[in-house]
Amino acid sequence: MKSNILFILLLLVGCSAADHIGGNLSLKEIIPGEVNGWVQDGDIEKYDHETIFRYMNGAGEIYRMYDYREMEVLRLVKSDQSLIKIEMFDMGTPKDAFGVFSHTREGDEAGVGEGSEYRNGLLCFWQGKYFFCIISELGTEETKPIIFELARIITNFYEPSNTKPEILNVLPEESLNKKSVRYFNLPSSLNYHYFVSDQNILNLNSETDAVLARYGESYCYLLSVKYPDSNKAEKAFANFQSVYLPEGERLEMSQFDENKWFTSTLRENYIVIIFDAPTETFAKRLKQNVLEKIILK
């Protein structure tokens, strides 16, 4: 009888631990009431897919470009110190958490979670399906240790996904600007970083995976889109060419302006486009490198 009771207790403890690792607990439950003299200030704030604009106005649209579900905001205060805010975004999936992190990344890796960046009192990172921002309103060096301590508490709570969007694997390493890599699904995200058209001429949607990255010392962009199947890729490629390129310039390689070469191609269920390459040779080499990556997949 005692052994049965012990077994049940162990099961309950195991279930409790599982709920806490990657579970849907509030920030108020994850963060202790006091951390190194910083205490929680007020109630948690929650914003869903529609009410996010009450918190951040137009910037909320960036998160809605991905599979954003809900966000929480927790404030911490300490006498004679600036206010610290923790923002936690439930992005639905790890790849969408990475996507929104990649959207504005510019700085070096900060060594937090599955990817991070620290700039002037703002630490952004992703872990599992969540994206986090920890913000010191004054951005002083005195608040940097508590920002990273709060991040440590969070990342110890949520298990990492240990995965990134598969399409990142088609990016050639040679001359890649790693800070420029952007992952997305929708045309609004593409046009935010490189305007292509006010129409969805590549048929981007929730079923497509796209990556945009800068190469070389110039602003040469590589865009690769993966479609669910080759038929959808063919239709999208035909539509893109008919709208984006004048009929007389639908060549394998085109020069739109001085030091701006363009090329596009279709391979299986992938479209590969290179914008603004500095030379024809650079464009050909980059395209060949990415096609070799696709073939090896």
Tokens at 173, concatenated: 């390493």
Residue written as token pair 């923002």: 87
- 177 and 277 inside one domain: yes
Report how far residue 53's alpha carbon sits from residue 263's, in angstroms, rounded to the nearest whole number. 39
Local confidence pLDDT in tens for the 297 residues of the chain: 433 433 333 333 333 333 333 456 789 899 999 999 999 998 999 999 999 999 998 889 999 999 999 999 999 999 878 899 999 999 999 999 999 999 989 889 999 999 999 998 999 999 999 999 999 987 777 889 999 999 999 999 998 999 999 999 999 999 999 999 999 999 999 999 999 999 999 999 999 999 999 999 989 999 999 999 999 999 999 999 999 987 656 667 888 888 899 999 999 999 999 999 999 999 999 999 999 999 876
| Domain region containing 45 | 21-157
- 278 and 223 inside one domain: yes
In a domain, 149, yes or no: yes
- 25 and 153 inside one domain: yes
In a domain, 178, yes or no: yes
Domain boundary among 133, 157, 181: 157
Domain boundary among 157, 185, 205: 157
In a domain, 177, yes or no: yes
- 78 and 105 inside one domain: yes
- 171 and 151 inside one domain: no
Beta bridge partners of 214: 177, 221
Q: Is residue 60 within 8 Å of 53, Cβ to Cβ?
A: yes
pLDDT recorded at residue 23: 54
In a domain, 8, yes or no: no
pLDDT recorded at residue 251: 65
pTM (2 decimals)? 0.88
In a domain, 5, yes or no: no
Assign 3-class secondary structure to 128-173: CCEEEEEEECCCCHHHHHHHHHHHHHHHHHCCCCCCCCHHHHHCCC
- CA-wise closest residue to 202 among 214, 220, 189: 189
| 174 CB neighbour count, 10 Å cutoff | 10
Q: Is residue 1 within 8 Å of 7, Cβ to Cβ?
A: no
Report how far residue 22's alpha carbon sits from residue 125's, in angstroms, rounded to the nearest whole number. 15
Report how far residue 161's alpha carbon sits from residue 72's, in angstroms, rounded to the nearest whole number. 21
Alpha helices in 178-279 (DSSP H): 187-193, 230-244
Within the chain, what is the greatest distance between any pair of CA atoms?
Answer: 85
In a domain, 45, yes or no: yes
Report how far residue 213's alpha carbon sits from residue 165's, in angstroms, rounded to the nearest whole number. 14
- 189 and 223 inside one domain: yes
In a domain, 16, yes or no: no
Look up the CATH number of the domain holding residue 145: 3.40.1000
CA R_g for the chain: 23
- 150 and 171 inside one domain: no
Domain boundary among 139, 157, 175: 157
Report how far residue 119's alpha carbon sits from residue 110's, in angstroms, rounded to the nearest whole number. 9
- 40 and 150 inside one domain: yes
| 10 CB neighbour count, 10 Å cutoff | 10
Number of domains in the chain: 2
Beta-carbon contacts of 221 under 8 Å, excluding residues fewer than 6 positions away, are 194, 212, 213, 214, 215, 274, 275, 276
In a domain, 12, yes or no: no
Beta-carbon contacts of 193 under 8 Å, excluding residues fewer than 6 positions away, are 182, 212
Tokens at 55, concatenated: 């918190």
What is residue 43's DSSP assignment?
A: -
- 170 and 291 inside one domain: yes
| Secondary element (H or E) of residue 63 | helix 60-64
Beta-carbon contacts of 96 under 8 Å, excluding residues fewer than 6 positions away, are 66, 67, 68, 129
- 28 and 132 inside one domain: yes
pLDDT recorded at residue 295: 85
